[in-house]
Structure 1
Amino acid sequence: MTARPEPRALLRQHGLRCTPGRLHVLAVLSASERHLSTAETCAQLALTGEVVHPTTVYRALETLTAVGLTHAVHAPGAVRYGASGEPHHHTVCQRCGDVAAVASRHLTAAAGKIEALTGLRPDSSGSLLVYGRCAECSG
């Protein structure tokens, strides 16, 4: 994934106030290599020494998703959030709910073939969801 602007600049670009909760949540998601649930985001914040109430984290995630700074992936169990940036698709483990990003460039041909066969196009986010079992759950 490519480098993203600093969280404060991103919030301002999208017309949002730079509240501590939004700044911290966006920083955690931007630094994470995984998509995180609300609870996992709270846990990551706690590891950095930031104590943010779960309701504040949830509201920040909803606001950031509404303006396109983050995106939500509905997996088994909790919804998981990732920082939006380089276009990518998602794999979702049907057993543990883990979500992984796959750069769009790696699936361009597959996405084109799916559209040719079915007429189905990726949604406005450009993301395809591929469900299966991750290496840990299938082994």
Structure 2
Amino acid sequence: MTRLPDPRSLLRRHGLHCTYSRLRILTLLRGSGQHLTATEIHACLERTGDGHRSATVYRSLETLTALGVVHAVPGPGPTRYGITDEPHRHTVCQQCGRVADLVSVPLVDAVNRIEALTGLRPGTSGSLLVYGARSGCAA
């Protein structure tokens, strides 16, 4: 994946105002390297002293997702949000809901082949999702 642009330039490129909550959410997602739930984002902002009302976090995430700045990954459990500058693939654990970027070249090649064979394309999350159970979560 490419290096992510700074939050201000990302918002400007999408024609959005650089509000404090949008900047903080994007900075948090960019720095975390993870896909976080809205509740996790809200809790992280509270811990750093940047408390926002949860409604503000949800509204900001809705706006950022609708305009393609952030992608939403539905899982089992709550939706998780990530930030990237390009469409990509994710794995989603059906047991714990953990989301990870699919970066292994052979696996990416396999998913590309699945896309070619089935006609499936990245959805609203900005990616094609691969669901399964992580070995640590399998029952």
After superposition, the C-alpha distances for 1:73-101 in whole angstroms (9 at most, x for unaligned) are: 11011011000224421111111111111
Indicate whether 1:57 and 2:57 are aligned.
yes
Letter in 2 for 1:129: L
Q: For residue 83 of structure 2, what is the aligned residue in structure 1?
A: 83
Does the 8 Å CA contact 2:21/2:56 hold for their aligned counterparts? Answer: yes
Q: For residue 133 of structure 2, what is the aligned residue in structure 1?
A: 133
Distance 2:4 2:71 in 1: 15
Does the 8 Å CA contact 2:88/2:127 hold for their aligned counterparts? Answer: yes
After superposition, the C-alpha distances for 1:103-128 in whole angstroms (9 at most, x for unaligned) are: 38553421232134333344477622
Structure 1 unmatched runs, 5+? none
Q: For residue 112 of structure 1, what is the aligned residue in structure 2?
A: 112
Letter in 1 for 2:5: P
CA RMSD, 1 decimal: 2.2
Does the 8 Å CA contact 2:89/2:129 hold for their aligned counterparts? Answer: yes
Does the 8 Å CA contact 1:7/1:23 hold for their aligned counterparts? Answer: yes
How far 1:2 moved relative to its partner?
3.2
Indicate whether 1:3 and 2:3 are aligned.
yes
Does the 8 Å CA contact 1:87/1:103 hold for their aligned counterparts? Answer: no
Q: Secondary structure at the match of 1:103?
A: coil
Q: Normalization by structure 1: what TM-score?
A: 0.86
Letter in 1 for 2:11: L
Letter in 2 for 1:85: D
Indicate whether 1:34 and 2:18 are aligned.
no
Aligned length: 139
Distance 1:119 1:33, change over 3 A: same
Does the 8 Å CA contact 1:36/1:81 hold for their aligned counterparts? Answer: yes
Distance 2:125 2:74 in 1: 14
Q: For residue 98 of structure 1, what is the aligned residue in structure 2?
A: 98
Superposition pairs of residues 13-28 of structure 1, within 5 angstroms: 13-28=13-28
